[in-house]
Structure 1
Amino acid sequence: MSVIVLDHLVLTVADIEATVAFYGDVLGMLREEFHGADGAPRVAVSFGSQKINLHAEGDAIEPRAVRPVPGSADLCFLSDVPLETWQEHFDAQGVPVIDGPVARTGATGPITSLYIRDPDGNLIEVSVRD
């Protein structure tokens, strides 16, 4: 018995609109508005068939993580855009690269990565497969 794919993950954030703007402007994700199973309006960012649900700090949906706090995530995103182009884009967006390009090992093999931080301080890794 085994799971087959990650459907979504949840980020607890200090400011949903700032998070949506960052993930949209900097990483090209799309804002998605939907209603939870309880009918309450919710916000996510999406890319491809993946989704990141956003929970406002102090207002996390139940059930939730034991300690949902902004800035506790470390996420790696794969891209088919060269890292040099990403570096130029980050510079144009005023987003400092805190490390890279550096060689790493991804889920399926070698990758090269740049590291940035989102508005909550989450570590964001943008990578290309080697």
Structure 2
Amino acid sequence: MKVKDIDHITIFVRDLEKTMRFYHEVFDLPILTFDESKLEFQLGKQKLIFLTIISSDNNNPKNPSAGSSKFCIIAKDSLSDITSHLANYGVEIIDGPKKVSGANGEMNSIYVNDPEQNVIEICEYKD
């Protein structure tokens, strides 16, 4: 089997409304679907999906829990601009900036929590 790419990531949360406001307002992600049990955003070529921890899909993890995810997004803006942007929204940087190794080489990253305490790494690759 040859894997080509990631299509989507699903994260479990308690509060879809708070999650929607955070990702749509702070990260300016376009909303694709939003109802009482599912929230979908476009994130580059992929989808970022949020489900409530009480979602009834048969193919969910056995014990879904909110706040147990960590993922990394590649930023188009500089980390200094992003740091200012996050401060305007009252989003605390919990770590960084620091150099780390990413899928495509060395990058600088900062880390924040979403309202459910999932960790979001925001990176900037060196040119």
**Same-fold call, TM cutoff 0.5:** yes
Q: Distance in 1 between matches of 2:65 and 2:42?
A: 21
Task: Provide the secondary structure at the position in 1 that maps to 2:66.
Answer: coil
Closer, same or farther: CA 55–76 of 1 in aligned 2, 3 Å = same
Q: Kindly report structure 1 stretches of 4+ aligned residues shifted beyond 6 Å.
A: none
Normalised by the length of structure 1, the TM-score is 0.89
1:60 positional shift: 4.4
Q: Counterpart in 1 of 2:43?
A: 47
Whole-Å separation in 2 of the counterparts to 1:17 and 1:34: 9
Q: Which residue of the partner structure matches residue 26 of structure 1?
A: 26
CA drift of 1:50 comes to 1.2
Counterpart code for 1:128: E
CA contact (8 A) 2:16 2:37 kept: no
Matched, 1:6 2:2: no
* Aligned-partner Cα distance in 1 for 2:92–2:20: 18
**Contact (CA 8 Å) 1:76, 1:126: kept in 2 or not?**
yes
CA distance in 1, matches of 2:68, 2:37: 24
Q: Secondary structure at the match of 1:98?
A: strand
Residue 94 in 1 paired to residue 90 in 2?
A: yes
Is the partner of 1:110 in helix, strand or coil?
Answer: strand
- Structure 2 unaligned blocks of 5 or more: none
Distance 1:119 1:34, change over 3 A: closer
Q: Which residue of 1 aligns with 2:54?
A: 58
Note if contact 2:72-2:123 (Cα within 8 Å) is conserved in structure 1: yes
Secondary structure at the aligned position of 1:45 is classed as strand
State the 1:42 CA deviation: 3.7
Letter in 2 for 1:58: I
Unaligned runs of 5+ in 1: none
For 2:68 and 2:61, the matched residues in 1 are separated by 11
Give yes or no for contact 1:12–1:60 (8 Å, CA) kept in 2. no
Aligned length: 126
Q: Is the 8 A contact 1:55 1:61 kept in 2?
A: no
Q: TM-score, normalised by structure 2?
A: 0.91
Residue 124 (str. 1) matches residue 120 (str. 2): yes
